[in-house]
Amino acid sequence: MFKRNVWLIVLLAGLVACSAKADTDSIKKALTARFPKADITSVAKTPYAGLYEVVIDGQIIYSDDNANYLFLGSVVDTKTRKNLTNERLAQLNAVNIDTLPLDHAMKFVKGDGSRKLIVFSDPECPFCKRLEQTLTKVTNITMYVFPYPIEELHPGTTAVAKAIWCAKDRNAAWQDTLLKNIYPKNDGTCDNPIDANIQLADKLHISGTPTLFFANGQRVPGAMPADKLEQLLNAARP
């Protein structure tokens, strides 16, 4: 009798698992049909309100179990006051920085270089220039800067990024451009990774600059003050 009950429990558990998988598959199929141009990465059942988490174009939305209704916005735990959507999005957007093609970036080492930072930056982006000013106050860092021009926001920035990369001293050219508005004088026709960086940013769902990645994989969009940057760098230490 005991063994029979055990097998019954196992069978029921399997049916529940298959049902959940079928639900997520059917939701993804329905949403893909209704939004054919969207990149739907995953669908998963959440533990709250019978909702399904849908990761679409790098963002989180929620669906009912029939994909008839979508819910935009954040889920907040009223007891802890934690934004569960933001926490989940941070997990999904984390990146193992050791997998990035660091040879496509400029390497800057300051002080003992003990803390690591990855930056995707547009040379004509005003917020990137603000971040560059902030970085002059930060030391003990190894930083990899991926030139990532967003042409639709800053026309001509792709040519600037390529000219910086093709400069005799690209690190100096980068800082001269962003800190002093002194541009390199070359035509940017050398072998460069700019187009590859644009494709990489698209793959990582980076939609704006600057975008920062810390040693623990945490992604943070936008410029920030030096004290906040120091806090995140220290928290990300191995």
The lowest-confidence range among 36-50, 98-112, 173-187, 223-237 is: 36-50
Question: Does 223 lie in the same domain as 127?
Answer: yes
Angle in degrees, CA 197, 198, 200, rounded to 5: 60
Residue 208 pLDDT > 70: yes
Same domain, 152 and 218: yes
Band of residue 20 on the pLDDT scale cut at 50, 70, 90? low
Domain termination residue (choose one: 63, 93, 123): 93
65 and 135 share one domain: no
- With 50 as the cut, is the pLDDT of residue 16 above it? no
State the average pLDDT over residues 3-22. Answer: 46
The whole-model pTM stands at 0.75
Name, of 34-43, 82-91, 148-157, the range with top average pLDDT. Answer: 148-157
Whether the per-residue pLDDT at 46 is higher than 70: the answer is yes
| pLDDT at residue number 2 | 39
The pair of three-digit structure tokens given for residue 151, joined into one six-digit string: 């042409």
Q: Which two tokens stand for residue 10?
A: 């196992």
Q: Do 132 and 206 fall within a single domain?
A: yes
Looking at residue 92, its pLDDT comes to 84
The closest alpha carbon to 64, from 45, 80, 51, 82, belongs to 51
User: Same domain for 70 and 34?
Assistant: yes
Domain boundary among 93, 120, 144: 93
How does pLDDT run across 144-176, given as a tens digit for each residue? 999 999 999 999 999 999 999 999 999 999 999
Instruction: Specify the CATH number for the domain of residue 9.
Output: 3.10.450.70
| pLDDT attached to residue 91 | 83
| 160 plus 205 within the same structural domain | yes
Same domain? 166 vs 78: no
User: 154 lies in which domain range?
Assistant: 97-235
* Domain finish residue from 93, 126, 142: 93
Residues contacting 17, CB < 8 A, separation 6+: none
